[in-house]
A and B are shown apart, each in its own frame.
Chain A
Amino acid sequence: MAQRDIAVPGIVGSSHRDLGGRPWHRWRRTIALGVVLLGLVGIVLAALAREALLPRSAVTVAVPPNPFAPPRPALTQAEEAYARGLWKIHDDVKLSAVRMTFAGLAYKAGEIDRRTLKARVDAARDVYARAEIRARALEPPPSLRRVHTDYLAAIRLYRQSAVEMAKLGADGREQHLLAAYPLSETASKKLLEVGDALWPGEYVPN
């Protein structure tokens, strides 16, 4: 109603004119529809023309696969399930391994005494003990039995290393740190080997 009130009187008056036997407002609808259709066709034609004119190199860039996930046979469902289960344990083991290393560093730097060193190393040893129980509860598929055995061996080596380091707390002899070192070093290498089998891309370029 309001629109009609403000419309230009002359145009409003022409809407009632008969043209070829049809009312003008019906012609107006047909013309509008035609304009809209023509516009749509124009847009499609313009888009096709633009695609055709673009340099081919710009639209056919080949994207190589993600380099951080080197191609390899996919893990089976059972292998995936094992890898997922071990990952949570692996997370705890890695953290404790690095914390144990830092306990040794802090002791050598004179920042902590031997009692604090023992407390930190004992905490790591407890994590390894729990990790071993959790890892043993996993059932690896036959294809990953060797990986599983390696991982258990790594945890045991870390635990032995922790036991050796903790002896320093009792007698103060730094020889224990030297004796513990190769055990942790071997365990750390085993962790990488397992990671390489189960979690490629665990360590990306830094």
Chain B
Amino acid sequence: MNKVARSVLLFALLTLTVSTGLPSAPAQSADMQYSVWLIESSRFMGVPAGAFMPDRAFVPGSSNKMNNKPFFDLPVNIGVIKGGRDIVLYDTGWKQQDYHKMTGTQHWAPIAQQLAQLGIKPEDVTKLVIGHGHWDHAGQLMDFPNAVLYVQKAELEGIEWALNYPNPHIRAVNTDPGGCARTPACGYPPLTLQEIYGKVLSGKAVIVDGEMEIAPGLIIHPAFRAHTAGSQLLEVHTAIGPLVFGSDSYSSWEGIRDWMIANPQQTDTVQQFLAYEKCYKITGGYEHCVAAHEPLSYSEGYPLTRNSWVGPNGSRAAEIVLAPGERSRKP
């Protein structure tokens, strides 16, 4: 075979490889459909409206529905995603025994009990994607011995930067006994970070740098500074189209719908809006954006989560979508 013929053959082989190989990965992602549930780790009761959404601060006597509520009850939502060989949690809530009187909390129940109502055991969970590293979203990691943790590199870098900042008010984990006024290291107590470290130590952590497809049809998108330095979203392919989980970048679903920021902590509000836009782009609207603290969760007011029931200790759960062949878990 002469040189020209070899080149032609090589080109043909390459063309064949490219034409058969490239489409197969997206097709696999597009074909994959997950079942999705939402469970309520706990509920923060009576949070001042303006502390949650500055534009919805309570105005006494106001008849404007944006300003006529003094307080919100905020669920702490965990996404449960099942498909293929994976059971994935998006956020992991927190463990009340460690913080039990601190938060004016009700309806907390052990995560094992909450998953049991879906027929899932903690050891069945294969992946944990934390939207960010705050204590109320990245707790109880060590309760999932077989699960691999996915956390953004930027999240860890953001915390470490704060810890080493010269000004003591800026580097403090808490600036005073009553809280920490949204300073950079606020919300990251030693135990939470210790558990993240524990996953790394046991070889069960992936430090993500930007976007990553962690399984067919499960895609992490960075949302840096949309709530914290290394916030991340999770796109999930389902039978009703893609859903996007946003943790506290999507604290309020009404906020996404009405373009209002929510729960500013280590937050660049422009980046939070861009994170909202990401959901609009991926899903074609705001209906399929899954919020972490939406007060309307588990009701008709937040239609995606209306197929709900009451579970352990009065916590709520919702069946959002089932993959073909998956049975309903709703009692």
Contacts and interface: CB of A to CB of B under 8 A. Distances in A.
Contact of B187 (A72, A101, A203): A203
Contacts of A66: 48
A147 to B, nearest CB: 14
Interface stretch (B82-90, B99-107, B314-322): B99-107
Interface stretch (B21-29, B122-130, B195-203, B235-243): B195-203
B117 to A, nearest CB: 24
A127 interface: no
Interface residues of A, number: 49
A192 B136 contact: no
A121 to B, nearest CB: 13
A185 B194 contact: yes
A99 B248 CA distance: 25
B186 A206 contact: yes
Given A101-B194, A185-B191, A188-B189, A205 B103 contact: yes
Interface string B174-210: 1001111000011111110111111011000001000
B164 to A, nearest CB: 8
Contacts of B177: 83, 87, 198-199, 201-202
A61 B45 CA distance: 18
A58 B175 CA distance: 36
B61 interface: yes
Interface in A83-107: 83, 87, 91, 94-95, 97-99, 101-102, 104-106
Given A98-B163, A102-B163, A192 B101 contact: no
Nearest to A158: B190
B173 A205 contact: no
Interface stretch (A8-16, A21-29, A129-137, A176-184): A176-184
B98 interface: yes
B201 A178 contact: yes
Q: Is the interface of A mostly helix, strand, loop or mixed?
A: helix
A64 B98 contact: no
A203 B190 contact: no
B74 A205 contact: yes
Given A58-B61, A203-B102, A203-B103, A184 B200 contact: no
A68 B191 CA distance: 20
Nearest to B136: A206
Given A54-B61, A67-B47, A181-B201, A202 B174 contact: yes
Nearest to B178: A201
Given A91-B174, A188-B189, A192-B98, A67 B45 contact: yes
Interface string B274-287: 00000000000000
A42 B195 CA distance: 68
A101 B199 CA distance: 12
A58 B58 CA distance: 12
B101 A70 contact: yes
Interface residues of B, number: 55
A54 B188 CA distance: 46
A146 interface: no
A8 to B, nearest CB: 49
A99 B70 CA distance: 39
Given A98-B188, A203-B99, A205-B44, A91 B104 contact: no
B213 interface: no
Given A109-B207, A185-B194, A64 B71 contact: yes
Contact of B265 (A191, A202, A206): A206
A187 B98 CA distance: 12
B46 interface: yes
B104 to A, nearest CB: 4
A199 B189 contact: no
B245 interface: no
A196 interface: yes
A108 interface: yes
A172 interface: no
Given A91-B173, A191-B190, 12 more contacts: A67-B45, A67-B47, A94-B189, A102-B163, A105-B200, A184-B190, A185-B194, A185-B195, A188-B189, A192-B99, A201-B178, A202-B189
18 contacts: A58-B60, A61-B61, A67-B48, A91-B173, A97-B194, A104-B197, A106-B160, A109-B200, A109-B207, A181-B201, A188-B191, A191-B190, A192-B98, A196-B99, A203-B179, A205-B103, A206-B187, A206-B248
